[in-house]
Chains A and B, each alone.
Chain A
Amino acid sequence: MKIRVPKSAVFSILSVLAALLIGAVIILINGENPVTVYYCMIVQPLSSVNNLLNVFYVMTPLMMTGLAFIVASKASMINLGLEGQLLLGALAAAWVATLFPALPWYLYIPLIMIIAMVVGALWGLLPGILKLRFGASEIVTTIMLNYVAQFFINFIISGGYFKHPDIEQRTPYILENAHMASLSEMGTAMGIKTFRGVQLNAMFIVAIICVFLVYILLEKTKWGYKINAVGLNLKASTANRMSAKKIMLCAMALSGAIAGIAAMGEVLGTFNGVIEGFSPGYGFSGISVALLGRSHPIGIILGGLFFGIMNQGMMYINANTSVPKDFVKVLQTLIIIFIVLSPYFESKWEKFREKSSHAKEAKAV
């Protein structure tokens, strides 16, 4: 059986290889051995089932933000404000999760998520409205609003308005009935030691469902058709009985909503609240994941997996070498740079092949 690999996938892989090559040079600056570092980064996270499960945990917020980016970009809105939407969604969730001790978890957690989504959606709508009403470029406003969200959270927590009584720079612990148990905790509760240290929780499944739902939405429904149409040709859509503004705003709101719950696994699981600076830039990594996955939902899962492995691998790099943890970020951005460059190399490659085939023909004659 012959499996046809799509060309775009080939160039995604080549981009990764090129980035790894330059990454090796960067590792050498630090005086470490690239082979060791890459072994730690790629092989270690996959060396056991539990390690892999933790990769799933790490990739969850990346898949969500990647998905959020795709939804907006399909309607030609560039949502660089995922980080801010994620943070405010997280803060709202952390707050609601301290309010209702009597609610059963199966009502409480969905309620928290809905509120986080609403908050994320509103924060995503804002730049959308500013763009459509006033023509303000969403590129600038979304980035600025990230800083505003960041400082707002610091203000709320450090200002003492919503702060853990004893621990600095974090919100109070959330209620027991709002907690998403990790596999490790579930195991302990049941007396099984197999999953010790596995932080994976149900948010991963939520993320996979979201990917699936977004795929259905974009490819199989009339709304998806409209989002695509508006994104690909605004003028034609408006002239053909579509309310482009409404559709773009909806896409921004949905994007913000998805970003709003992106970090639920962390907030309701691992951290039991919000810690200042808890997001290592999930928002921007999500954009990278979306690009690596070529804006396709399946690609999101693969891209998220790859970035998850790298992020998880960073832990092992840290433990075994002196390479700073920012290395992974550098590598990930290099991958994106090569991906945006890949169409250029693709066309060069096509031309080269054409030429060499012409040359062969000429020889044959």
Chain B
Amino acid sequence: MIEFIESVGASTIRIATIYILAATGSNFAEKSGILNMTIEGNMLVSAFFAVLVSYHTGSALLGVLAAVIIGIVFSAFYGFTAITAKADQMISSLAFNLFATGITAYLLITFFGSAGATPRVAAVPEVAIPLLSEIPIIGKILFVQSPIVYLCFALVAAAYYVLYHTKFGIRVISVGEHPVAASTVGINVHKIRYMSMLIAGAMAGLAGAYLSISLSSQFVKNMTAGRGYIALSTVILGKHKPINVALAGILFGFCDALQIRLQQSSVPTQFIQMLPYVVTVIVIAFFIGKDDNPAAIGQAY
């Protein structure tokens, strides 16, 4: 039983990290008033480049860095579309995601000659933290993980601090709630939104790298498989509050972990695979109620 709790617990944290990283970043974009559905595409592209760079340099660290940079570039393009060009954010998000699906498949063949997956590359190893990892149960669950997982915990705390206790934070909230009011006190709405969007991009990039070269050690075609949309739901379920978002991420991570665990049972795999998606629909429908989006979300300024 303890073994079961440990393994499901550890894999919950392992998978939740994807959602938490992406959602915590995206929360900045959403708080600033941008509807950010591009997590899916952003993670996919950065997951690919993490592997590409790791493959050519043999360094997982450089792979992660590359993914973060790609994440930022990707979000800068989307930022231009949503902020400067004031385009329909939902439709353009969708287009960016489909672009990511297409371009990664294209580059996969171009650079690796494979239609399905890359070869295995240098990955980020798991690191057991001395002492802490020896605590019964919790040690195995929380402290034998990839360094990115530890970074993720730190980033959640940082996000909380930045959002509520810094100048930048209240400005982010103000441009998401009432951009006109923010501009009348001299806040550059576009600048704040771009910065928020880039934070979202960097963290989605990190999440993408984590997916491809930490959770696994290769890129598989379309490997995000809707996780970006689940991350989006994580932000909604977490009511745009950093700590709650992290908890929501753990819930979705748990679903996924359970799903993987159940695949070893006698229930047909395809049925089990539906689980995270069904849970997302149920959660969105029944546990959120009236959403508390920033007042100006999705509205260009």
Task: Establish whether A and B are touching in the complex (CB under 8 Å).
Answer: yes
- Interface residues, chain A, with chain B CB atoms under 8 Å away: 26, 29-30, 78, 80, 130, 134-137, 139-141, 143-145, 147-148, 151-152, 154-155, 158-159, 281, 284, 287-288, 291, 324, 326-327, 329-330, 332-334, 336-337, 340-341, 343-344
- Nearest-CB residue, chain A, relative to B98: A333
- Nearest-CB residue, chain B, relative to A129: B285
What is the distance, in angstroms, from B133's C-beta to the closest C-beta of chain A? 35
- Nearest-CB residue, chain A, relative to B279: A144
Interface-facing stretch out of B153-161, B182-190, B226-234: B226-234
Docked complex Cα distance between A324 and B105 (Å): 8
Interface centre among A26, A287, A324, A340 (most CB of B within 10 A): A340
Partner of B232 from the list A140, A147, A159 (CB cut-off 8 Å) is A140
In order of increasing CB-CB distance, the 8 nearest A-B pairs are: A329-B102, A155-B270, A344-B85, A330-B102, A333-B99, A326-B105, A324-B109, A340-B87
Partner of B102 from the list A141, A152, A155, A333 (CB cut-off 8 Å) is A333
Q: Which of B101-131 contact A (CB under 8 A)?
A: 101-103, 105-107, 109-110, 115
On chain A, the residues within 8 Å of B216 by CB distance are none
The bracket for how many chain B residues form the interface is 35 or more
Partner of A144 from the list B99, B236, B280, B286 (CB cut-off 8 Å) is B280
Interface centre among A136, A151, A287, A341 (most CB of B within 10 A): A136
What is the distance, in angstroms, from B45's C-beta to the closest C-beta of chain A? 12
Asked if A147 and B226 sit within 8 Å, CB to CB, the answer is: yes
Asked if A145 and B284 sit within 8 Å, CB to CB, the answer is: no
A-B contact pairs, 9 of them (CB 8 A): A29-B107, A136-B284, A140-B229, A140-B280, A140-B281, A148-B281, A288-B95, A326-B102, A330-B103
Docked complex Cα distance between A328 and B301 (Å): 34
Interface-facing stretch out of B51-59, B165-173, B288-296: B288-296
B132 located at the interface, meaning its Cβ lies under 8 Å from any Cβ of chain A in the complex: no
B19 located at the interface, meaning its Cβ lies under 8 Å from any Cβ of chain A in the complex: no
* A135-B290, A151-B273 given; A26·B106 CB < 8 A: yes
Docked complex Cα distance between A152 and B275 (Å): 11
Asked if A140 and B236 sit within 8 Å, CB to CB, the answer is: yes
Docked complex Cα distance between A135 and B91 (Å): 20
What is the distance, in angstroms, from B193's C-beta to the closest C-beta of chain A? 16
Interface centre among A29, A139, A147, A155 (most CB of B within 10 A): A147
Asked if A137 and B291 sit within 8 Å, CB to CB, the answer is: yes
B61 located at the interface, meaning its Cβ lies under 8 Å from any Cβ of chain A in the complex: no
What is the distance, in angstroms, from B175's C-beta to the closest C-beta of chain A? 20
* A135-B290, A137-B291 given; A340·B278 CB < 8 A: no
Q: Which of B216-254 contact A (CB under 8 A)?
A: 225-226, 229-230, 232-233, 236
On chain B, the residues within 8 Å of A152 by CB distance are 270, 274
Asked if B289 and A134 sit within 8 Å, CB to CB, the answer is: yes
Asked if A155 and B268 sit within 8 Å, CB to CB, the answer is: yes
On chain B, the residues within 8 Å of A135 by CB distance are 288-291
* A147-B274, A324-B106, A344-B84 given; A136·B91 CB < 8 A: no
On chain B, the residues within 8 Å of A284 by CB distance are 94, 98
Asked if A144 and B277 sit within 8 Å, CB to CB, the answer is: yes
B191 located at the interface, meaning its Cβ lies under 8 Å from any Cβ of chain A in the complex: no
Partner of B233 from the list A140, A291, A340 (CB cut-off 8 Å) is A140
* A147-B226, A326-B106, A344-B86 given; A158·B91 CB < 8 A: no
Docked complex Cα distance between A334 and B96 (Å): 8
B88 located at the interface, meaning its Cβ lies under 8 Å from any Cβ of chain A in the complex: yes
Asked if B98 and A134 sit within 8 Å, CB to CB, the answer is: no
Docked complex Cα distance between A148 and B87 (Å): 30
Docked complex Cα distance between A291 and B115 (Å): 29
Partner of B236 from the list A78, A137, A333, A336 (CB cut-off 8 Å) is A137
On chain A, the residues within 8 Å of B102 by CB distance are 326-327, 329-330, 332-333
On chain A, the residues within 8 Å of B105 by CB distance are 324, 326, 329
Given contacts A144-B226, A158-B270, A288-B95, could you give 11 more A-B pairs where the C-beta distance is less than 8 Å?
A26-B106, A30-B106, A30-B110, A130-B284, A136-B281, A137-B236, A147-B277, A151-B277, A326-B102, A333-B95, A343-B85
